[in-house]
Every structure is written in structure tokens, then in C-alpha cells.
Amino acid sequence: MNSKVKAWLEDGTIDIFLGYKEIDHHPLPYCFTKERLDEVEDLVLSPVRYSLEKIATHMAAVEPGIKIGMLARDCNSRALNVLYLWNQLNPDNVRTVNVNCCPSRLKEHGDCSYLEPETIGAYKKQVGVDNNLALEDVEAYGETERLDRWMYEFQKCIKCYGCRNICPVCFCKECSLEHDELVRTGPLLPDVPVFHMVRAVHMAGRCIDCGLCEAACPMDIPLRLLYQKVNQIVMDLFDYETGTSVEQPPFSILGDTVTLEPKPIEPLKVINNE
């Protein structure tokens, strides 16, 4: 791996390589360059994950022609496919060194320990949504109970924007989560459940199931399950698996025929837990 990266930098295949370097005993994202070629020896693999492709997106926005190399687990590769589709990165300017990844419903194999089941408290299991459950287990709750459990999770949100900021496929220049007509900005806590519903809609057909949002959430909201649900809807309607190819996503294809049956929007049922 190190020799390949060094060769790419030396022959100009890439201008910069995004990987990990151990700093004060902690692997952190690091930019390796031809000017500091000896540092490539410090390039390491790490069970710690950061959104390297998000860093690449920011670099390309400033310097569109920059040639970027990066370490890529399967989740990084899925994110890159989405970013290529939405013209956030040019695939001709990106080279990857592929490494094994975390388990995901979008990828059958995985050998790192990142997504090992976490310890869930008894109260959360009783009134909330267990992060370790499969989506079909959550769907098995009755409609009223399922709503109650999700509302318990959403009301914990402190609107830190950690889920958005870490997300590799959040790239809008104007974010709906900062639009006063949808989500009030400032120190106020978010309207429940508007904040998470707005974000969930934007994740449909984009979420690549990396789990970074859930890892970043200080309130342990099961965001991965929420976005798996919206992706399941996309799969059921359009037979489209996000990030698995560079084919156009269903939301970017316009046609002359309406294939979905319009249905009235039902008002949200307010559950009184008192």
C-alpha cells in the first residue's frame, strides 16, 4: 500500500493522498503529498473512520482539477459513486486504495469491528428504538407503538448538526436544515420530528449506510435505521440500491409518464404520553 501511494505521488498520478497517520497514538486523517514523500511511510490502516471523501469533495470544490488518492473501504466507495453521480467529484481525478470494510446491508462481507453490536440500556429498549435491531424488527411494532418509540428518540436531539456534518453525501450549498421556514436556526431545540424528517427525505437515494451519522450522534439516536427505511422505500419503488453503481439515481431521471399513484397526505397523529 505505502509503495503504491509513493509511486502515484512521484509520477504525478495524484497530487495528494488522503489516508491516516498516527498522531499522539491516535489515527487521524492526513494529507500525504509529493513534497513530504517520506511521510508516506507513516500511512496506516485504522479501525477509526472519518469521511475522507467529504474532505476530497471540499478540496475539489476549491481546486476542481486536483488529482486525489484515498483509502477506500466499501462504504467510501459507495459514497464516491454517489458523489460522482451528483457531479461533486470527477471520477477521472480520483484513485483509491481499497481496503476491507464494515458490515452493511449494501455489502455482504466485512471484517472490521466498527459495527459490532453496542450495549443498549434497558430503558431505551423499553421505550425507544434499539440501535441493534434489524429494520424488519422495528417495523414489527404496531403503528402507535412504533411512532411513540421514534418520537422518544427524536425528542432527544440537541440539533448539533453532527449527523449532517459527518455525512459524506451531504453537499448542498444551502442546507434545508438551516432554512427558517422548515427548521428554526439558532440555539433553540429542533421541532420534533421535523428536523429528522427533513433530513430523512434528503437521504432517500443518497444514504450509503456507512453509519457515521449514528456514530457522531451524542444522543444515540438510531439514525442508521431511519435512513435504511427511506432507502428501502427507494428500493421498493425504483429497484435502486444507493451507491452500488454509477448509474443515475431515480430522482435525477425525468419522464413523460407518472408511474406512482397519488395519495392524500394524512395528518400526523399526536400521541399523548402523559
Give a yes or no: residue 195 inside a domain: yes
Q: Do 171 and 66 belong together in one domain?
A: no
Query: Which of 117, 115, 86 lies closest to 103, judged by CA?
Result: 115
Residue 224: inside a domain: yes
Specify the pLDDT at position 117.
65
Q: Is residue 242 a part of any domain in this protein?
A: yes
pLDDT at 223: 95
**How many other C-beta atoms can be found within 10 angstroms of the C-beta atom of residue 267?**
6
The reply to whether 114 falls in a domain is no
What's the pTM? 0.82
Q: In this structure, is the dihedral angle defined by the CA atoms of residues 69, 71, 77 and 82, taken in order, positive or negative?
A: negative
According to the model, what pLDDT value does residue 113 have?
43
Q: 144 and 181 in one domain? A: yes
Residue 105, domain member (yes or no): no
Residue 152 lies in a domain: yes
d(CA 193, CA 149): 12
* pLDDT value for 264: 66
Write out the chain's pLDDT in tens, 274 residues. 899 999 999 999 999 999 999 998 889 999 999 999 999 999 998 777 889 999 999 999 999 999 999 999 888 999 999 999 999 999 999 999 988 765 455 555 444 445 566 778 899 999 999 998 989 999 999 999 999 999 999 999 998 999 999 999 999 888 888 877 777 776 677 777 888 998 999 999 899 988 899 989 999 999 999 999 999 998 888 888 888 888 777 776 655 665 656 666 566 555 554 4
Expressed as residue numbers, the domain containing 157 is 122-252
62, part of any domain: yes
Q: Are residues 162 and 246 in the same domain?
A: yes
Question: Could you give the number of structural domains in the chain?
Answer: 2
CA separation for the pair 239, 249 (Å, rounded): 10
Q: Do residues 128 and 240 both lie within one domain?
A: yes
Inside any domain, residue 198: yes
SS (H, E, C) the chain: CHHHHHHHHHCCCCCEEEEEEEECCEEEEEEEEHHHHHHHHHEECCCCCCCHHHHHHHHHHHCCCCCEEEEECHHHHHHHHHHHHCCCCCHHHEEEEECCCCCECCECCCCCCCCCCCCCCHHHHHHCCCCCCCHHHHHCCCHHHHHHHHHHHHCCCCCCCHHHHHCCCCCCCCCHHHCCCCCCCCCCCCCCCHHHHHHHHHHCCCCCCCCHHHHHCCCCCCHHHHHHHHHHHHHHHHCCCCCCCCCCCHHHCCCCCCCCCCCCCCCCCCCCCC
